[in-house]
Amino acid sequence: MATKLQQALNRRKTPYEIERDNYEKAMSLHIQKAINKEEGPTKEKHIRTILMGTYKDESARLFWSIALKLPLQGHPIVCWKFLHVLHKILREGHHRSLAESEAHIVFLGEVSKLWGHLKDGYGRPIQAFARLIVAKLKFHKKNPEVPGTMSLTPEVMASLTQNSIDNYFELSVDLLDYLDELLVLQNAVFASLDKSKANSMTLHGQCKLSPLIQCLQDSAGLYDALVKILFRLHSSLPTDTLTGHKERFLKSFRELKVFYDTCYNLQYYKNLVSVPQLPDNPPNFLVSSDLSHHRAPVVATVAGAGAASPDDGRDDEDEDDKEDPSNWVPELAGMQQPTQHQPVSSPPPRQQPVASGPALLDFGGSNSAAAADALFGPSFHVESETDRLHRDYKNQIAGLNRKIQELQAALEQATAAKLRAEERLSEIEKRVKLLESKGDFEERYTKLKTMYQQLREEHINLLKQNAAAKKETSGLKQSLDEAKRSLAEQKN
């Protein structure tokens, strides 16, 4: 027994195991830096590394194994940033992240209930954010064909509905439910901001406003899909059947327009994202040609901007390390998942640092290449090149999709113009037929008038002949009567 134990202790790790340990340590460091207790927007470089990790592992299990050990139920800013990073992973991470995160729906529901008891500060926003994440996971569980970015292309729509009007009806309800949760979150965020003290350029304001960029992106896809589906439903179902859908959409349209207008005027979003503008009036689903006037809202983020703080242009490697995350995040190996019974106000225990020495290197600054080699190994640069190519292809695909949308819009306009031309042609044909029918009527009228005159003349002649015949008959009767009287007198 002692020999086996000694052999196990003396066994050296393989190069792969060493590289994997360094990778996991680096990922844990980036997750801790992304999800920290400092009030301010999460730095994009940490989120980008976490997203790359999901593609490297083709999974989000490593993120969950580390994130669940953070004080999510003990510190509001940590929980808020956790939900922000999780939402980002569900949208842009590996597609398996969605299915793997479904196992944590119950935990997210408990987080929502717990922070809902805190009426001020981050309480209500966290409650709404966790509910939104749960709604997103349930939506994708029911509709696995929809990508995390909520881009419902015609192919995805056809796969979801199978061209069944019942499936369109059910999908519209799911999309409206999702949009409702999203609007609840943005209302909670803006309601929690103290307009007299905070604005979008303060760390407090940016910390709360940064996650709304993903909400802008989700809402654009939801709105575009809902408009097209409701036009389809109104063309196939009675208006009374869709009254509830229409009322819910109009309510969401008004709130979404206020949301876009508010974000459009915020200075924080000026250099980060292009906020779309909705039309003044909602689409009229009873007029099918109104679909040609619909323009899908586009939310474009500025490359490299991310959720940066105002002083993000400086070398922030030292700033991130001013307070070592391990001072407040306990040892990863020995922590347990927080429970709902943990009090909100209880401070997290102070433990030993997660790791120390050259293994914990940052990717910022001038030593980024050495850090990458030390942490991820030579394969990191290959994956970075792959990631760059992936982004390039993704941008090309996005450009092609935009061109396709433009061509589809042009085709819809041409189709609408063709329908209008056909309607005008049909009206002209009706008018021509009406004029032709009027010409035939005049001709028939002339013939009938001529026949009437002929019949009238014949009738007058017959009346004259009848009168003459009556007179002649009357004279003959008188003569007959006189003859009868003369005969009777002769007999007497």
Q: How confident is the model at residue 385 (pLDDT cuts 50, 70, 90)?
A: low
Q: Which comes out higher in pLDDT, residue 326 or 58?
A: 58
CA distance to 233, 298, 410, per residue, from 253 (Å): 18, 16, 25
- What is residue 486's predicted lDDT score, i.e. its pLDDT? 76
Strand boundaries in 177-334, DSSP class E:
273-274, 300-301
Give the per-residue pLDDT at 201.
80
Mean pLDDT of the chain: 78
Exposure string of 447-482, with b = 16+ CB inside 10 Å and e = fewer, is eeeeeeeeeeeeeeeeeeeeeeeeeeeeeeeeeeee
As a whole number, mean pLDDT of residues 181-208 equals 84
Question: What is the per-residue pLDDT across 236-264, written as a single tens digit (0 to 9) for each?
Answer: 888 889 999 999 999 999 999 999 999 99
pLDDT over 90 at 110, yes or no? yes
- Give the confidence band of 213 by pLDDT, cuts at 50, 70, 90: very high
Distance between CA 459 and CA 476 in Å, rounded?
25
pTM: 0.62
Q: Is residue 30 scored above 90 in pLDDT?
A: yes
Query: What confidence score (pLDDT) does residue 190 get?
Result: 92
Give pLDDT tens digits for 117-131: 988 889 999 999 999
**479: pLDDT strictly greater than 90:** no
Residue 198 in contact with residue 250, Cβ under 8 Å?
no
Checking if the pLDDT of 381 tops 70, the result is no
Q: 267: which 2 tokens?
A: 């200075």
Per-residue pLDDT band at 436 (split at 50, 70, 90): low
Write down the pLDDT at residue 198: 53
Per-residue pLDDT for 425 more than 90?
no
CA 23 to each of CA 32, 70, 89, 316, 317: distance values in angstroms, whole numbers, following the listed order: 14, 19, 18, 22, 19
Looking at residues 9-36, what average pLDDT do you find?
86
Dist. CA 168–CA 173, nearest whole Å: 9
Highest mean pLDDT among 13-22, 173-182, 427-436, 455-464 belongs to: 173-182
Residue 444: exposed, middle, or buried by beta-carbon count in 10 A (0-12, 13-18, 19+)?
exposed
pLDDT tens-place string over residues 294-317: 888 888 887 545 444 444 444 444
The residue that leads in pLDDT, 310 or 201, is 201
Name the least confident of 326-340, 368-382, 400-414, 478-492: 326-340
The proportion of the chain whose per-residue pLDDT surpasses 70, expressed as a percent, equals 76
